[in-house]
Amino acid sequence: MQTYLDLIREVLTEGRYKPNRTGVDTIASFSAQYTVDLTAGFPLLTTKDLSGFRWNSLLHELIWYISGEEHIRTLREHTGIWDAWADSEGQLDTAYGRFWRRYPLAAETLAGESWAGPDNPWINDDGTFDQIRYVLDTLRDDPHSRRMVVSAWHPANAAVSTLPPCHYTFVVSVQGDALHLHLTQRSGDVALGIPFNIAAYALLATVLAQRSGFRLGSFGHTIVDAHIYCGEADRGEWYASHLDGLQDRLQSATEPEEIRSVAAWVEGTAPPERQQDFDHVPGLLEQLARSPRSRPQLRVEDVAIDDLRVEHIQLEGYDPAGPIRFAVAE
């Protein structure tokens, strides 16, 4: 998908060196934004292979969000990403789906404020608010509303959470007969996280459009801190003094072999990595040198959203380039 390759080039050519909490340094860019036409096929990257375990884990993760579960018991067999953030009992102190489906209401309110009461159709039995049900009902009853906003961010939770939500809010918008979805993300790992985010929210848009009778439109994405991990210790610090050289070389590199020569310059000049694959720059340059292939198609069975399972979702015609390994910075 060319849009994703443009993002890689934008961050590498315009970003700045930025250490962070993980101990793996980054090249980071402020406020990346793009729109993906979802009518042109499903936006699963074809410049690296995301089939098999990766696709399976993406599906289980999105269905886990939709379920509203905050325990990772249903994820452990299919993805190991969340174990690092769960306690010994498998509970998360921030879970996207928990806020999507059971957002807590204020315990105390100020004079004049309006809050949904117990008779409201979107209030759950435990007194929380179901944002997904609210969106589906609004798509049915008032589809031109500009208030179909879903938030996974609660300030009092985020302030003390081990990992506050990265992709923290999305808005559904109907234009004509097409449903569009815009995601805002405070922080995005370009190599690993963003490809999953694009595909997951494109799938969510598909599910919402199908269940509300609208055709599929587009996916808009804003990433406040779009970053590329560039290694630990000496390897990461090398970019602080050599980023200008990387950017100068990449600015004039347009052909695949020219881009690969930039990657070779990095590998031949930078100190060796202490741990393999924490520097994502060479792998992303390899992706940048590859041409996007035709997008696959997605088939989703028309079942109720709460009944949606992995077996109801089929990916067809996916023919990606070979895999590229990136280590996860936690």
pLDDT range class, residue 33, cuts 50, 70, 90: very high
Record the pTM. Answer: 0.94
* CA angle in degrees (0–180, nearest 5) for 46-201-179: 110
Within 10 A of 42 (CB to CB), how many other CB atoms are there?
21
pLDDT at 89: 64
Q: For residues 276-288, give the mean pLDDT.
A: 96
Among residues 62, 86, 135, 166, the one annotated as catalytic is: 166
Segment 125-178, tens digit of pLDDT: 999 999 999 999 999 999 999 999 999 999 998 998 888 899 999 999 999 999
Dig out the tokens for 128 from the structure.
Answer: 């929380």
> Buried b / exposed e across 237-257, counting CB within 10 Å, b at 16+?
bbbeeebeebeebbeebeeee
Q: 118 to each of 108, 127, 131, 148, how far by Cα in Å?
A: 15, 7, 15, 21
Q: How far apart are the first and last CA of the chain?
A: 27
Q: For residues 96-106, give the mean pLDDT.
A: 90
Please answer whether residues 164 and 157 qualify as being in contact, where contact means their C-beta atoms are separated by less than 8 angstroms. yes
- In 95-175, which ranges are E strands? 149-151, 167-175
Q: 57 to each of 42, 50, 51, 81, 196, how far by Cα in Å?
A: 17, 10, 10, 9, 10
Q: For residues 251-268, give the mean pLDDT.
A: 97
The answer for residues whose C-beta is within 8 angstroms of residue 292's C-beta and 6 or more apart is 1, 2, 5, 46, 47
* CA angle in degrees (0–180, nearest 5) for 296-191-267: 125
| Three-state secondary structure string covering 45-101 | CCCCCCCCHHHHHHHHHHHHHHHCCCECCCCCCCCCHHHHHECCCCEECCCHHHHHH
Q: For residues 264-271, give the mean pLDDT.
A: 97
Segment 48-83, tens digit of pLDDT: 999 998 999 999 989 989 998 876 666 666 666 666
Q: State what percent of residues in the chain have pLDDT above 70.
A: 93
Average pLDDT, the chain: 93
Within 10 A of 317 (CB to CB), how many other CB atoms are there?
12
Segment 164-221, tens digit of pLDDT: 899 999 999 999 999 999 999 999 999 999 999 999 999 999 999 999 999 999 999 9
The answer for residues whose C-beta is within 8 angstroms of residue 120's C-beta and 6 or more apart is none
166 among known catalytic residues: yes
pLDDT at 20: 86
Please answer whether residues 133 and 116 qualify as being in contact, where contact means their C-beta atoms are separated by less than 8 angstroms. no
Cα Rg of the chain, angstroms: 21
pLDDT at 86: 64
Distance between CA atoms of residues 146 and 273, nearest Å = 48
pLDDT at 110: 86
pLDDT at 73: 64
Q: Which domains does the chain possess?
A: 2-103+136-316 (3.30.572.10)
pLDDT top residue among 23 and 321: 321
**327: closest CA among 262, 245, 232?**
232
Q: For residues 232-245, give the mean pLDDT.
A: 96
